[in-house]
Structure 1
Amino acid sequence: MLPDATVAGGNLPIRAALPALIGALTARDQPRPGHAGGAAVLVAPPGTGKTTLVPLALADHVPGRVLVVEPRRIAVRAAARRMASLTGGGEIRGNDVGGGEVGTGEVGGAVGYTIRGERRAGPSTRVEVVTTGVLVRRLQRDPELPGTDAVVLDECHERHLDADLALALLLDVRAVLRPDLRLVAASATADTRRLAAMLGTPDQPAPVIGTDASMYDVEVVWAPPPGVITPAHGLRVDPRLLDHVAATVGRALRETSGDVLVFLPGAGEITAVAGRLAGRREAGHRDAVDVLTLHGRQTGGAQDAVLRPGPRRRVVLATAVAESSLTVPGVRVVVDAGLARSPRMDHARGLGSLVTVRVSRSSAGQRAGRAGREAPGRVYRCWSAAEHDRLPAQPEPEIAVADLTAFALELAVWGNPGGVGLPLLSEPPAGAMEAAGATLRALGAVDETGRVTPRGRSIAQVGTHPRLARALLDGTRSVGARRAAEVVAMLSGDGPVGGSVGGSVGGSVGGPSDDLVAGWRRLRGDTDRAASARWREETRRLRSAAQSPPIGTGEPGGPGEPGGPGELAGPAARDAGGITDDLAAGLVVGLAFPERLARARDAGSTNYLMAGGTGAELAAGSALTGAGWLAIAVADRGPGRTSARVRLAVALDAATAREAGAALLRTEDEVAWSGGDIVARQLERLGAIILAERPVGRPDPSLLRAAVLDGLRAAGLPVLRWSADALALRDRLAFCHRLLGAPWPDVTDAALLDCAPDWLGPDLDGVRRRADLGRIDAGHALRRLLPWPQAGRLDELAPERVTVPSGSRVRLDYSGSSGAAGPVLAVKIAEVFGWERVPAVADGRAPLVLHLLSPAGRPVAVTSDLASFWRTGYPQVRAELRGRYPRHPWPDDPTTAPPTRRVAPRTRSR
């Protein structure tokens, strides 16, 4: 380590842990496959110097370069500047990559950095700070990392996708190619046991080294809001909470000295609180308080300005980018709103969003630590101590909730589709990986086995989400490299919108409009110079990436090469100058998100149907209202909503929509039950959107039969022709099934509908419309269900009629029978004189239920015990009815009287 660096860092607590760390990494027993040497877990609180002193100490003990890996670009630049200042122009001893040149103290000399689109490092650089994304790209290009002897993965606890992936790839490299590569996993709040096991072996975990000493004490002040606050929902944060945060900042300014760092969930909340603080003056001082902002959508210059001390007291409003890996100078106070933004992905609909969540306890500790990096400090937490105890211990790993398409592509490029065989900190959810695989196959990036294709390597080389990379590569051939890059730059992670693929709008394109083209024009006009500068920088990078030769074997599928699935053909090859900016933007957005191409449900409507099948709705007053077609770049569907809210889109015409969504175009015959009848038509579809339809005269028989069965299920069995005999047969079958069981068939509605093809069989062949169903004789069809040989005993077990003593053959009614009860025999009393017992059916298991009728056919008694009725019930019936029906016989003893169905002749009076 440089002498000046040693002095400058002499008061940092991490110095005490350096000997143990260096010893673990550079022991005489050199690392080799299967051995735990050369790796360690470094755990130390914020502000102890682990980000800056450890890499400099390592550089003094290894001959090659030390890579320091940070999750955020702002932390990369800050760490590089800090280490460069510590070198002060001295020399990092050892054989550096460039041959032992002297460090200048300026970034780019002994200490340098690389972020996407910017590199300040040279041959003499011994310590290089990079983002996790840059490290992953380097590993994919050359897994051996030539010239690099040590890698420090900082802030492992944050569990970003790139960080998890980088750790897995490094462990794979150490196991197979570079057992000599030193690896440090550094964090303030990591799961040390899990990390140590992964960096070591099952029998010998990597050593855990660190210090519990923080720089300075931080006093915790619990400052919950005075009233009820509505919990955050989606991106919405209760304005009353923002009022309280602003008031707490005022309190902190009155009660403390030093700069104030305020943690808020997003750029929108930063703007809102900044407005509430506008014009505020520090109590007792003449000078105004400077209100600054710090978030991921700012330019590097704007971010770096916050990391320099100001002439006056400052209030810095920041997102989670300020949680770790950097020091905001002058900060003695932290005000924490207690919220963070987390990605969520609706894999079924392909819609991502950011949601506002409660901060974890570990993140709250990280935030509080910002106040104690330079002096004793204080943190005002805008929640209670009781609420703090209920917070989750750690933030949710990004792999558990985010879009995994880019992650899955990197795994495929590495040669481990799905991550099989890689030491990942957390297994990716199966559903998310399946959705990612389906997207990559649709892009032609992987084959059916999940292995990367040449086209997939070209897509991965672009360095942005695979969807946007596909739009850039294919869109370049259609609208030109400049316009394709400009549109993609608006949507990429470094663009003014950002997060649009796996998340939601991270900012706005020059304003609140949902019209992407209007935002494009504002960027071109430098309305927002900071946003325009960031956009132009990303555009240049993307243009260069689109025109770079593909990595691989030179097979088709690289930039500018046709042949990949879903690539443009025909009209897409037209002269790029022949398409307007509006249509160019729509084409590029549609290429990135073909399932979000949307058509208005009605003329002038704000409601749309997306090709993916989900509804979409424009906000009231949207400039896009009335557009017949939209290419939707950003949309999210909040909890409880059936349709998605359009956040950013482009109006386009039907021809461009067809061009962008060519892979979703198909023509198919549809035969379906619709509107109460069978409809046969040929449909031209763009995904779920019906573009055109025409009737089909001779539909496919299999489709027709499926539609008939659907119609039968929708309309129910009454749509068939049910005669009295058919209904009676069904009742008899139901009786046999209930009393005798299988193989007698179940003839309930549900059962008959379920096995309709079995019993309706040939009767369905001639059905073309609903009226045809009404001509099917249900009774004739039901007989197909009769089991053999039991069918021959149906009339014996469940006879249709029974002969009564009078000689009449009376129909039995099986419709109301239940349990072990038999069918109903409704008969006049006189016809059963002489019967002493009620007969039974079903081999004697079910006695008939007699409904005894008066001579007028009205029920007078119900019984299954005829002997008891003759003794006790009949005398009462006889007494009541014989005077009313004198011509009918009413014998004293009905068991011996002859049965009759006749009436005595009328007596003539003289």
Structure 2
Amino acid sequence: MRDWAVLSDVTLDLPVRPVLPALIAALDAAGAGVLVAPPGTGKTTLAPLAVADRVTGRVVIAQPRRVAARAAARRMAELLGERVGERVGYAVRGERRVGPTTRVEVVTTGLLVRRLHHDPELPGTGAVLLDEVHERQLDADLALAFTVEARATLRPDLWLLAMSATPDTDRFAALLGGSTPAPVVRADSALHPVRRIWAPPARPIAPPGAGPVDRALLDHVAATVRRALREHDGDVLVFLPGAGEIAAVTGRLADLRDTVALLPLHGRQRGTEQDAALRPADRRRVVLATALAETSLTVPGVRVVVDAGLSRVPRIDLARGLGALVTVPVSRAAATQRAGRAGREAPGYVYRCWSAATHERLPARAEPEVATADLTGFALELAAWGRPDGVGLALPDVPPAPAMTVARDTLQTLGAVDTDGRITPRGRAIAAAGAHPRLARALLDGAGRVGADRAAEVVALLAEESAAGPGDDLVAGWRRLRTGVDAGATARWRTEVRRLRAALPAGSPPAGRPGGSRAEGSRADRGGGPETGGRVGSGGLSDDLAAGLLVGLAYPERLARVRRPGGSAYLMTGGTAAELAAGSGLAGSDWLAVAVADRKPGAPSARIRRASPVDEATAREAAGPLLRTSREVGWSDGDVVAREVTRLGAIELFQRRLDRPDRAEVAAALLTGLRQEGLGLLTWTPAARALRERLAFLRHHLGSPWPDVGDEALFEAAPTWLGPELAAGRRRADLARVDVTSALRRLLPWAQAARLDELAPERIEVPSGSRVRLDYTDPAAPVLAVKLQETFGWSAAPRVGGGRAPVLLHLLSPAGRPVAVTADLESFWRTGYPQVRAELRGRYPRHPWPEDPGTATPTRHAAPRRR
């Protein structure tokens, strides 16, 4: 082993070095362990070298990020005085630098997952080191779970070490150790003192979200950088949420370029550009970085950190299938790690662009990606491993059930898993492509239609959509990459194109199949050169339509049709409303294949961020399983509508009238109309209203089996009392012609129908001989309005409902105006009548006003006038 010695060739003394013997002893004893070491202690560089001194086989160290993997390999190679690819190498997506003497290989966690799928025994590997496990990325969780199971079942001799920059390690120790927690080795902090400087903006800033960061905050960050440069020496490291904000702040500092090197550092850069930010320069530097500089990477010379306090994380809208990168406040744990970058080499300073009070309200730590991200790829990895639900695996957290359900449904739609969640042969082909399952599906299914080259180019663009540059026109971005306007973006894109092209089955045609005639889109002829978005391949599809087809294959639920000709509002096949930004060059396209869209919480529609115009034929081809033709009979716009409709998802393509709709469906539609618009659709004659009121009175006083005739009860019983009319009806007008009186009588059992007039008489005969109609508007107390003179001789008010309900008498003057309301006629004759008589006898002298109404003759006539 001494010929392969690694660490012994390194003289650098870092804080982690003293604990390395204890670490090796723990791994010797248990085969697994956890190393806790803050940023700057040297765990990423010295621990792999120490392990390589003791194991047979290669040491694989997995990093969550490509830039960190390359940087760690370069740092270890420098410590050994070698070039990368000798004893230390690396492998990231699309790039590998190793050789026959390589003992330590740094890989991304995603690449480690791929290797475990290919051969879970990891032949030739003596140890696996999982770095930055606390970051909780999806691939990192999978790499941990798969390696733990592979070690337990196939490779008990494999050393497994999890490394973390945070002290919260009990969970990982339990996962690695099984029944007995794995040993935990801790290294002291290497940090020098870092002074905190609270530097909040002068005015409130709009909260972050799915949209752009408030410009006022970017102005404030740039001003804070200038302040830091004035107040302190050393290089400045600025933390911003994304590449767009880095470019914006860099532009605000452009006037400093003569004296300061402005160096961006983010995952979209080429390796050479990232290297420039990680090497000392001949002048003072301002390094503007995303969260990837929180851990793993050492940015030398930094004495000051300016932290914008934001981070960008993935979020998924499960209901609409829209994923987005959302800007959120940084966690306290991440803020501590960011501040620590200023104290790795000497005492430093951190300017936090928020207040101390705001800091106390920040979350303690960031949510793990499994809790917030799209889990489609995660679920496919589990299925490929043979554990579709993840049960029994050493996953740090159980994936959320709703997100996993959506992910499995998506995979089943793609044909990647069966109904039990087990991976299919097609699923293995999708997984082998090394892209998101949706994009892999588009690559595999689209290559034969548009050609392998164009399929790989578009899918590479969708995988790295930011490479397309500004604007929402996907094909315009594709054109820019082809012409190489942005050399860095083009280089990254072409590397991914080559990888995806190689992932296609042998024999895939470089161009589309000949003879595939297709109507060109209205924008298909834009541009004329072979490198323009209007280029037409041998498959007959312009680049617009080829890109749209591939986007549609990946995201069939995002194919969208304009709501109004020439407008910017669209409806997606998934049912989500979407809009283009003001001034978009895509406005007016009849159809769009939407690659990227997001929707703010509470917003009425999604915002289209990247799309390609297509035609209806291409949309139908891409989303074939969503194409449905159905016969529909229902209530719409106030009447029965019977039609045959062809839809692409939620988008109605075509309809025609049905001349002979199913009678039962028409009846159901009429019933729906009654529910939606109310019983007023029926013609309620006075007789119908009176019958309903009488029935309500009997229900109130006698209960069942007298029917309930309230609105809800009538809706529920409509098939009974309106059955024949509904069966015979065809449209709204037929409801207006229903004989409601006869229909209501169907609710009455025979025995009750025979007693209706007895218990709730329509009219009552009064002493004068008149038959006066009862008013049952109030079911508790029916009203009889009758002239007072016609009631002479009544000693008590009549009762109805089998004697249960007294009639409320409205006693009227000769002019028909109420003079008294009573249900106690005996009391009225005794106490109320004398006062009424005194007041009215002079006003109505031709009408009788006897002193004793109980013995007087009732009459409905007045005395004749005297001549």
TM-score (norm 1): 0.88
> By how many angstroms is 1:75 displaced?
0.6
Deviations, residues 239-277 of structure 1 (Å, cap 9, x unaligned): 221112111111211222221110001111111110111
**1:537 partnered with 2:522:** no
Q: Which residue identity is paired with 2:811? A: L
| Offset of residue 201 of structure 1 | 3.6
Cα deviation, residue 770, structure 1: 0.6
Q: 3-state DSSP class of the match of 2:207? A: coil
Q: 1:151 aligns with which of 86, 105, 128?
A: 128
| SS of 2:728 mapped into structure 1 | coil
Tell me how far apart the structure 2 counterparts of residues 169 and 323 of structure 1 sit (CA, whole Å).
Answer: 26
Is the contact made by 1:853 and 1:860 (CA closer than 8 Å) also made in structure 2?
yes
**2-structure distance, mates of 1:43, 1:717:** 73
> 1:22 and 1:796, CA in 2 relative to 1: closer, same or farther beyond 3 A?
farther
Matched, 1:675 2:633: no
Give the Cα–Cα distance (whole angstroms) in 2 for the partners of residues 192 and 758 of structure 1. Answer: 69
Q: Which residue number in structure 1 is paired with residue 599 of structure 2?
A: 637
Q: 1:271 aligns with which of 243, 247, 263?
A: 247
Partner of 2:528: none
8 Å contact kept, 1:737–1:744? yes
2:846 and 2:865 in contact (8 A); partners too: no
Q: State the partner residue of 2:858.
A: 899
User: 1:641: how far off?
Assistant: 2.1
Q: Is the 8 A contact 1:571 1:659 kept in 2?
A: no
Aligned to 2:816: 857
**Matching residue's letter, 2:312:** R
**Equivalent position SS for 1:206:** coil
Instruction: Describe the SS at the equivalent of 2:593.
Output: strand
Quick check: 1:64 aligned with 2:57?
yes
Q: Contact 2:194–2:339 at 8 Å: present in 1 too?
A: yes
Instruction: For residues 50-78 of structure 1, give each alpha carbon's deviation from its aligned partner in whole angstroms, at most 9, with x where no partner exists.
Output: 11211222222222322211110001111
The one-letter code matched in structure 2 to 1:837 is A
Deviation, structure 1 residue 309: 1.6
Which of 385, 407, 424 is the matching residue for 2:378?
407
Range 729-738 or range 39-48, more displaced: 729-738
Task: State the partner residue of 2:449.
Answer: 478
Structure 1 residues 809 and 587: alpha-carbon distance in aligned structure 2, compared to 1, 3 A threshold? same
8 Å CA contact 2:6–2:49 kept in 1: the answer is no
Tell me the equivalent position of 1:419. Answer: 390
Once the 2 structures are TM-superposed, how far is the Cα of residue 214 of structure 1 from its aligned partner? 2.8
Q: Which one of 170, 173, 179 corresponds to residue 150 of structure 2?
A: 173
Q: How far apart are residue 335 of structure 1 and its match?
A: 0.8
Q: Deviations over 1:804-841 (max 9, x none)?
A: 33343332212134xxx321111222232222222333
* Residue 121 of structure 1 pairs with residue 121 of structure 2: no
Q: Which moved more, 1:334-343 or 1:870-879?
A: 870-879
Where does residue 24 of structure 1 map in the other structure? 26
Partner of residue 161, structure 1: 138
Deviation at 1:867, TM superposition (A): 1.9
Distance in structure 2 (CA, Å) of the matches to 1:706 and 1:651: 41
Residues 605, 799 of structure 1: CA spacing in aligned structure 2 closer, same or farther, 3 A cutoff? Answer: same
**8 Å CA contact retained: 2:10, 2:80:** no
Instruction: Kindly provide the CA deviation profile for residues 187-235 of structure 1, in whole angstroms up to 9, marking residues without a partner as x.
Output: 1126323222322345x32233213423322222222223332222423
Q: Map 1:603-618 onto structure 2 (within 5 A).
A: 603-618=565-580
| 1:654 paired to 2:616 | yes
Contact 1:144–1:178 at 8 Å: present in 2 too? yes
CA 1:663–1:747 in 2, change beyond 3 Å: closer, same or farther?
same
1:516 aligns with 2:474: yes
**Could you tell me how far 1:47 is from its partner in structure 2?**
0.8
> Where does residue 584 of structure 1 map in the other structure?
546
How does 1:676-755 map onto structure 2 within 5 Å?
676-755=638-717
Q: CA offset at residue 9 of structure 1? A: 6.0
Q: Which residue of 2 aligns with 1:30?
A: none
**Deviation at 1:740?**
4.5
Query: CA contact under 8 A between 1:111 and 1:121: conserved in structure 2?
Result: yes
1:689 positional shift: 1.5
Q: Does 1:831 align with 2:790?
A: yes
Map 1:798-817 → 2, pairs under 5 A: 798-817=760-779
Change (3 A) 1:791 1:14: farther
Q: Distance in 1 between matches of 2:327 and 2:154?
A: 42
Q: How big is the shift at 1:791?
A: 5.5
Change (3 A) 1:389 1:874: same
The answer to whether the 8 Å contact 1:235/1:354 transfers is no
Structure 2 CA distance, aligned partners of 1:838 and 1:213? 99
Q: Could you tell me whether the CA contact under 8 Å between 1:485 and 1:539 is conserved in 2?
A: yes
Matched AA of 2:486: D
Matched, 1:881 2:852: no
| Residue number in structure 2 paired with 1:49 | 42
How far residue 278 of structure 1 moved from its aligned partner, in angstroms, is 0.7
8 Å CA contact 1:489–1:538 kept in 2: the answer is yes
Deviation per CA, 1:300-354: give whole Å up to 9, x if none: 2211222222121110111111111111122222110001112221121121222
**Separation in 2, partners of 1:259, 1:603:** 55
Residue in structure 2 matching 1:437, options 408, 425, 435 = 408
Question: For the Cα contact (< 8 Å) 2:467–2:490, is it kept in 1?
Answer: no
1:97 match: none
Matched residue SS, 1:317: strand
CA separation in 2, counterparts of 1:758 and 1:79? 79
Which segment is superposed worse, 746-755 or 862-871? 746-755
Q: How does 1:589-628 map to 2 (within 5 A)?
A: 589-628=551-590
State the 1:897 CA deviation.
Answer: 2.5
- Give the drift of 1:508: 5.5
State the Cα distance separating 1:164 from its structure 2 match.
1.7
Bigger CA drift: 719-728 or 517-526?
719-728
CA distance in 2, matches of 1:483, 1:863: 92
Q: Which residue does 2:234 correspond to in 1?
A: 258
The 8 Å contact of residues 9 and 80 in structure 2, kept in 1 or not, is answered as no
Q: After the TM superposition, which residues 753-772 of structure 1 pair with which residues of structure 2 at under 5 Å, given as runs?
A: 753-772=715-734
Q: CA deviation at 1:696?
A: 0.8
Residue identity in the other structure for 1:69: A
Q: Which range is displaced more, 341-350 or 470-479?
A: 341-350
Please give the alpha-carbon distance, in whole angstroms, between the structure 2 residues aligned to 1:744 and 1:540: 80
Assess if the C-alpha contact under 8 Å between 1:590 and 1:596 holds in 2. Answer: yes
1:724 Cα deviation (Å)?
Answer: 1.9
> Bigger CA drift: 784-793 or 875-884?
784-793
Q: Cα–Cα, structure 1 residues 904 and 598, in superposed 2: closer, same or farther, change >3 Å? A: closer
Structure 2 CA distance, aligned partners of 1:707 and 1:369? 68
Contact 1:658 1:665 in 2 (8 A): yes
Deviation at 1:905, TM superposition (A): 4.6
Number of matched residues?
Answer: 846
**Does the CA-based 8 Å contact 1:9-1:49 persist in structure 2?**
no
Distance 2:410 2:450 in 1: 24
Superposed CA offset, 1:14-45 (max 9, x none): 22332332222211xxxxxxxxx432222221
What is the identity, as a one-letter code, of the residue corresponding to 2:181? Answer: P
In the superposition, the TM-score normalised over structure 2's length comes to: 0.93
Letter paired with 1:150 = A
